[in-house]
């Protein structure tokens, strides 16, 4: 729900959309509308109380004032952390309780919306350096957590926002946003493996090694890797430079080609051979008919002989590919 501030004070347009900046409010309020209505208070774009509802105070066209030197390119969200379902905690330390399930889901949905609307990257933002991208949190721009060269996102020192427990939940939020956007979980974010994953991975690796014809390895792979991940792997393999141990030119030089190159040229060669065979078959038919022979019988025998030769050729052919690790 959007309840914009009356006479909104900050109508400076965003310069860019690089980050989704997560905060903890040190507040038990179900809304920060009245708090933010007081002039001079750092105001975020959004607020998410414990129940996961979302309130908006500033249009995302404009800058918020919650992120100091990151205001020009960060969309900010404050979150409730006191009262309601939260245990009592010492607000002087980093003992902020974890976000509720509803807050995690709402933060993820908002992250997915920011991705679709403003192109915010579905990844963890590494630090507060100018130009950094993704899901960030306030203390990345606060000493002593700020990295050297990072922007200051607060004038305070030692402010823990949003606290250890909430920082630890951010990878899960990124992953959930990604799932909402793409329909598949996973990607860049590390997800802890469970014991149940081990046999699946073994099956995938073992299946690949054996080159199983029943595609068991392939099916297992589908279970451990998302489609985009598998596409990345296939792309890496097809694009990799290989040393091809065939001296085609007969001059002692070996061509460096990618697997894709080899597949395409093999395919082109096969098409050429197919066309030549079709032509040869036509010639054979014409000759046979001219000699008063059974053309169909001759073509069938010719075809069988060609098949035989090809089968021997395939059996003998050994394509050996060696990864050339001197190529970047
Ligand atoms: Zn904060």
Between the CA of 21 and the centroid of ligand 1 the distance, in Å, is: 8
Between the CA of 162 and the centroid of ligand 1 the distance, in Å, is: 6
Query: What pLDDT shows up at residue 193?
Result: 66
Query: What pLDDT shows up at residue 10?
Result: 60
Q: Does domain 19-182 have CATH number 3.40.50.920?
A: no
Query: What pLDDT shows up at residue 264?
Result: 75
Between the CA of 297 and the centroid of ligand 1 the distance, in Å, is: 86
Q: CA nearest 118: which of 62, 69, 160?
A: 62
Q: How many CB atoms lie within 10 A of CB 293?
A: 13
Between the CA of 42 and the centroid of ligand 1 the distance, in Å, is: 10
Q: CA nearest 14: which of 114, 116, 152, 141?
A: 114
Between the CA of 82 and the centroid of ligand 1 the distance, in Å, is: 15
Each residue's pLDDT tens digit, 220-250: 666 667 777 777 777 777 766 665 555 556 6
Query: What pLDDT shows up at residue 7?
Result: 45
pLDDT along the chain (328 residues), means of 10: 57 93 96 88 94 94 94 97 94 90 97 94 94 96 95 93 95 92 61 68 64 61 70 71 58 65 77 85 86 85 82 62 49
Between the CA of 324 and the centroid of ligand 1 the distance, in Å, is: 50
Query: What pLDDT shows up at residue 79?
Result: 97
Between the CA of 20 and the centroid of ligand 1 the distance, in Å, is: 12
């Amino acid at each position: 729900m959007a309840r914009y501030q009356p006479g909104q004070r900050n109508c400076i347009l965003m310069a860019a959309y690089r980050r989704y900046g997560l905060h903890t409010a040190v507040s038990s309020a179900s809304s920060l509308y009245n708090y933010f209505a007081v002039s001079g208070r750092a105001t975020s774009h959004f607020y998410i109380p414990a129940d996961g509802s979302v309130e908006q105070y500033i249009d995302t066209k404009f800058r918020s004032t919650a992120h100091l030197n990151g205001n020009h390119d960060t969309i900010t969200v404050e979150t409730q952390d006191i009262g309601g379902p939260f245990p009592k905690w010492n607000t002087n330390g980093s003992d902020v309780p974890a976000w509720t399930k509803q807050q995690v889901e709402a933060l993820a949905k908002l992250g997915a919306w920011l991705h679709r609307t403003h192109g915010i990257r579905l990844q963890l933002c590494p630090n507060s350096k100018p130009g950094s991208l993704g899901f960030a949190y306030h203390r990345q721009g606060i000493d002593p957590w700020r990295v050297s060269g990072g922007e200051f996102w607060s004038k305070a020192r030692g402010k823990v926002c949003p606290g250890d427990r909430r920082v630890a939940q951010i990878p899960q939020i990124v992953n959930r946003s990604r799932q909402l956007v793409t329909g598949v979980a996973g990607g860049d974010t590390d997800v802890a493996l469970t014991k149940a994953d081990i046999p699946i991975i073994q099956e995938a690796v073992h299946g690949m090694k054996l080159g199983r014809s029943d595609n068991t390895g392939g099916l297992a792979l589908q279970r451990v890797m998302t489609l985009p991940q598998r596409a990345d792997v296939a792309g890496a393999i097809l694009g990799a430079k290989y040393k091809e141990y065939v001296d085609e030119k007969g001059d002692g030089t070996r061509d460096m080609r990618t697997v894709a190159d080899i597949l395409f040229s093999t395919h082109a060669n096969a098409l050429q051979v197919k066309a030549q065979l079709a032509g040869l078959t036509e010639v054979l038919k014409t000759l046979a008919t001219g000699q008063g022979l059974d053309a169909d019988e001759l073509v069938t025998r010719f075809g069988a002989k060609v098949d035989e030769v090809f089968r021997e050729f395939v059996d003998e052919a050994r394509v050996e590919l060696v990864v050339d690790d001197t190529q970047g």
